[in-house]
Structure 1
Amino acid sequence: MSTSPAAEDDLPRAETRTGPTAGSVLSAVAGQVEARGHACAVRSADERVTYGELWERAGRVAAVVSAAARGGGELRVAIGLAPGADWVGCLLGIWRAGAAAVPVNLDHPPARLRLLAGSADLLVHRGGAIPSWWPEDIPAVTFPEAEAGHLPGPRAEYASTAGGRTACILHTSGSTGAPKPVVLPHSGLAHRITAFADLYRITAKDRIAQLAAASVDVVLWETLLALTIGGTLCVPQGRQRVPGIGLVRWLAAEQVTVATLTPTMLAALPEVTLPDLRLLVAGGEALDPARFAYWIGRHQVANAYGPTEATIATHVAPHITADDQPAPLGRPVPGVEDFLLDEHDQPVPDGQRGHLHLAGVGLADGYAGLPDRTAHAFPTLTISGRAVRVYRTGDRAWRRPDGQLVYAGRIDRQLNLGGVRLEPEEVEAAALALDGVTAAAALAEPAEGRDVLTLHAAVPGGQITEAALRAHLAGLLPSTAVPARIHLHPSLPLTGYGKPDVQAIAALAFPGAGPAAEPDEIAPAAAVDGPPVELPDTVRMWWRQATGAEPATTTTDFFSSGGDSLACVELLHRINETFGLEILLTHFTAQPTPAFLARALASTAREPS
């Protein structure tokens, strides 16, 4: 029977150490402040912040958050700061004030950030004008700076153990078109960090990279794994955060020992020697050991699996080898149970595929303000004669004879592209919000050995162009959810229920190659050809490296030419740093053409250095 309660002996254990309590990670961090107050806690750019200084920053944040509290329940505080020591201090300070943190990614478009703001009661931001995306009727406070020449010690009235139940509210892609606010309790987070610290044998000598976006749960494991054990959190800035030579140089210079990347990110790293790196944790998407033989042969590579709704990761295969084909998801970490169930919610025999359900410590409390969706995703089932609260992952898996799980696809339409889980319905809902689009279907389509997000849209009047639709989507969705390809059609095939027929639409992957529409029925697209464009040779080279194609004309589309969101970030970082520009990701995603870059470059006379 394919059920697997986690056993303490299933995974390697490290020596006994001080770690988070069952209630909160704050007590473990406070312990490190007392024991290692002058040791470096966070390194970011030229800033070196000790444990004592970090705790003091957290105390200042706790003071302003507490002063802003209006009573009537647990305060939810959005962190409107970029990654770095202040972001970490803000997270800890929110918890010291007994409030819940709502991390957001400031690179997301304002419309999406405005949507996420509905999950918060207060914003902590850098200063100056309140961000335009923040609602006027919700208060905001400035991150409190220390008085010049005065650095007070930690204030006792702000706790070293969290006063509230909720640690974080994180947002995942939602099938209704709106992000789902996942409520993670402190108890599960503390338990998970303890398990990871033991599993990966983290010590105070470790220097842990913080590479994840501020809005995803992995940022919690990177941050807290370092601070609860007395290690150093290393935070890259700018282009150093983009997988490529800049990140590799930063990893080497910072002597990073532990890093977490998606396989897509790892594939973008040049294969160079990193003598200090002892552990690479891969997660977020399928791992192909043959593709990463270089790293597996030189470092410990672990494969981690787990949805946000179950707190960071629930399964780990600690040592992936080149012989693992396919790479297993691993066994459940201590405190987690897994069940592979059939359509009747009963366990399937070992070796057969089933719908993966998770239980035990670390399950989210649910989706804030969404009781029906919470009830559906977190039901209580009777399994083997006992009642168990579970989370339905939507993932299929099967169990190997050694007890490790192997991923076997999805039971629904959710996509996983580049380590980012996407609900196609969210992309489709955003497309339908544009007048003139009557139907939409988002799906993954193959492109040069990888899958890319593709949108098929029905525009009966032919008035909507691909550029207009892309600009609309870029204003509503994070860059990772803006389709690399957009195909416009006068209509889309429908099922008998009147909904887009995804199976039939998949045949439209290459318009004109299939029977779905005659050539004269295709809606007019944006201009295919345009005049040649003048770009510096270096920018042309970077475009070719990112897409595999020339920026031939003013209207050549970056994404249609083979670029993706990761390559887009790398291109913009190179241009911005070399030419002294500040091209925003959301702006280029809306107009991903050489003409846009040429206009931006024309605004500066700076030559590449």
Structure 2
Amino acid sequence: MQLESADPPIVSQARAHAARTAVVAPEGRFTYADLLDASARVASALLAGADDLREARVAFLAAPGWHYVATQWGIWRAGGIAVPLAVSHPPAELEYVVQDADASIVVADGGFAEVLRPIAERNGRRFVESADALAADPVALPGVDEARRAMIVYTSGTTGKPKGVVTTHANLRAQVTTLVQAWEWSADDRTLLVLPLHHVHGIVNVLSCALWSGAACEILPRFDADETWRAIESGRLSLFMAVPTVYNRLITAYDQAPPERQARMAEGCRRMRLMVSGSAALPVQTLERWRQISGHVLLERYGMTEIGMALGNPLRGERRPGFVGLPLPGVAVRLVDDEGGEAPPDTPGEVEIGGPSVFLEYWRRPAATAEAFRDGWFRTGDVAVVEDGYYRLLGRRSVDIIKTGGYKVSALEIEEVLRTHPAIAECAVVGVDDPDWGERICVAVEAADGSAVALDELQGWARDHLAPYKLPRDLRRVDALPRNAMGKVMKPEVAKLFAAGGG
């Protein structure tokens, strides 16, 4: 039974694709009609006799799969604000989000009920299991205006407590439609989701773009290199989106496979029309190795939780290694100097973003919201330069731009060079306060298998590739660089390795 209502935009889109496959997940295969019915039932359970949640926050924890999608859509259709929780987070971090968002309802699928139920009870919040919500009888649902708040996604919080980024249904429409246009999504597409669903890369770029378009989205409960390769080998996928860490693991799995399977892997890649990388800088060596394996030049793009995607290399046209491309449709981009004036041509500047995809606010943080904007433009904190129309990121103003010996140096540039050293598998460059240099250039290194790297040897090698003032002055070897859930290196944690000084 499906009762009509004034739906959020993405739900309205689904009605045109009722008979098509929407989601393939561990729980089974589901059509758009199934999704409309299931989300209506979830919405009805959340309403519990009320006519509208009126932007009440609903925090939910579900493994990537059918329950996640039905719950997210059910929250939206009930008039609530969806607050996705991270399956990788410990109870203390989950409780922080529940409290900070002031969630009145907490939803969990079966596997997480015993984690969230005590949190809900301690904080006096209503607790709902997703299976029970999916079994509810549908009732009339409220109309949901696009101007309403739709979602709060918490930033990774490399410094301080995470902030809740609030997007409206109109913001989500803008974020999705710019990618649908730029990447030419259609109902004939089929994609594989291997990314976390508490982050815009998974929520917007993969899941929501697929469901907006009438496409099919296969969902793995967690990334597994072998399972991912099997899906690629099948030839049924047309798009794939991931982070550099995922591509590196797929490369490792490919290199370990026998030749006959490697041939199937490569053929599966070549049958796809698009492969995208984002959420962290894509090393050029990863791009080149993936091109050798797959025949694809990975499309690198740039975005943030607060803005969705803003820049991207073109679907049709030159994709430049080391560049994040051109402004996406409907997105306004400018570079500004330290005083907020327009940066001169060929000069680095801070990236600022305008347009309908930009978020509404940081949840209950008016001072932080005000500080994040300048004359209506969102201040990303990222520094870039435009070369022949293409944007090249130089790093974060506060983290990746190092002021050493009177020079401004890009940590990302140094990392790209050092990754080409045969003894280095991965590295992270940071600036650390230094009385002589202002900031001392330091590098943390993951060594290649069986390799050893010493500072003096690395400096000698790097002199052929980097200006003297860009050479690392300190080195630490680590088993693994500290990363967040999206695989992005947490530079403040790296910097702590060098806080005590010494070489």
After superposition, the C-alpha distances for 1:305-347 in whole angstroms (9 at most, x for unaligned) are 011111x2111112498983x4321111122111111111000
Shift of the 102–68 alpha-carbon distance from structure 1 to 2, 3 Å rule, reads: farther
The match for 2:379 is 392
Q: Per-residue deviation at 1:79?
A: 1.5
Provide the TM-score with structure 1 as the length reference: 0.61
1:29 is aligned, of 1, 8, 11, to: 11
Shift of the 454–44 alpha-carbon distance from structure 1 to 2, 3 Å rule, reads: farther
Shift of the 140–32 alpha-carbon distance from structure 1 to 2, 3 Å rule, reads: same
SS at match of 1:334: coil
Shift of the 265–25 alpha-carbon distance from structure 1 to 2, 3 Å rule, reads: farther
1:102 is aligned, of 65, 83, 99, to: 83
The match for 2:323 is 328
Separation of aligned partners in 2, 1:549 and 1:115: 42
The match for 1:90 is 71
The match for 2:280 is 285
Separation of aligned partners in 2, 1:340 and 1:454: 23
SS at match of 1:348: coil
Q: Which has the larger radius of gyration?
A: 1
Question: After superposition, where does 1:310-321 map in structure 2 within 5 Å?
Answer: 310=307, 312-319=308-315
What residue identity is the alignment partner of 1:304? R
Shift of the 395–64 alpha-carbon distance from structure 1 to 2, 3 Å rule, reads: same
SS at match of 1:267: helix
Shift of the 568–94 alpha-carbon distance from structure 1 to 2, 3 Å rule, reads: closer
Moved more, 132-141 or 278-287: 132-141
Shift of the 31–549 alpha-carbon distance from structure 1 to 2, 3 Å rule, reads: same
Aligned: 1:231 with 2:215: yes
Question: After superposition, where does 1:218-367 map in structure 2 within 5 Å?
Answer: 218-221=201-204, 222-238=206-222, 241-242=223-224, 244-253=225-234, 255-270=236-251, 271=254, 272-273=265-266, 274=268, 275-296=270-291, 298-299=295-296, 301-310=298-307, 312-319=308-315, 324=320, 326-367=321-362
Question: After superposition, where does 1:450-469 map in structure 2 within 5 Å?
Answer: 450-451=426-427
1:406 is aligned, of 392, 399, 404, to: 392
The match for 2:126 is 139
After superposition, the C-alpha distances for 1:563-590 in whole angstroms (9 at most, x for unaligned) are 45789999xxxxxxxxxxxxxxxxxxxx
Separation of aligned partners in 2, 1:63 and 1:569: 33
Contact 2:63–2:221 (8 Å) recurs in 1: no
Separation of aligned partners in 2, 1:147 and 1:406: 46
Gaps of 5+ in 1: 1-23, 381-388, 416-444, 457-492, 511-544, 551-558, 571-609
The match for 1:40 is 21
What residue identity is the alignment partner of 1:318? P
Moved more, 253-262 or 214-223: 253-262
Gaps of 5+ in 2: 1-5, 255-264, 402-417, 452-475, 488-503
After superposition, the C-alpha distances for 1:164-205 in whole angstroms (9 at most, x for unaligned) are 611210111336520011111111210221121121111111
Separation of aligned partners in 2, 1:74 and 1:64: 16
Q: Per-residue deviation at 1:163?
A: 6.7
SS at match of 1:313: strand
Contact 2:354–2:378 (8 Å) recurs in 1: yes
The match for 1:576 is none
Aligned: 1:59 with 2:40: yes
Separation of aligned partners in 2, 1:319 and 1:362: 20
Segments of 4+ moved more than 6 angstroms: 68-72, 320-323, 453-456, 493-496, 506-510, 565-570
Shift of the 39–455 alpha-carbon distance from structure 1 to 2, 3 Å rule, reads: same
Separation of aligned partners in 2, 1:364 and 1:455: 31
Question: After superposition, where does 1:410-449 map in structure 2 within 5 Å?
Answer: 410-413=396-399, 448-449=424-425
Contact 1:288–1:327 (8 Å) recurs in 2: yes
Separation of aligned partners in 2, 1:78 and 1:233: 23
Aligned: 1:376 with 2:363: no
Please report the RMSD computed on the Cα atoms of aligned residues, expressed in angstroms: 3.9
The match for 2:165 is 182
Percent of matched pairs sharing the same residue: 26
Separation of aligned partners in 2, 1:358 and 1:211: 28
Shift of the 494–206 alpha-carbon distance from structure 1 to 2, 3 Å rule, reads: same
What residue identity is the alignment partner of 2:332? E
Q: Per-residue deviation at 1:266?
A: 1.1
Shift of the 399–287 alpha-carbon distance from structure 1 to 2, 3 Å rule, reads: same
Separation of aligned partners in 1, 2:104 and 2:90: 20
What residue identity is the alignment partner of 2:210? A
Contact 1:25–1:190 (8 Å) recurs in 2: no
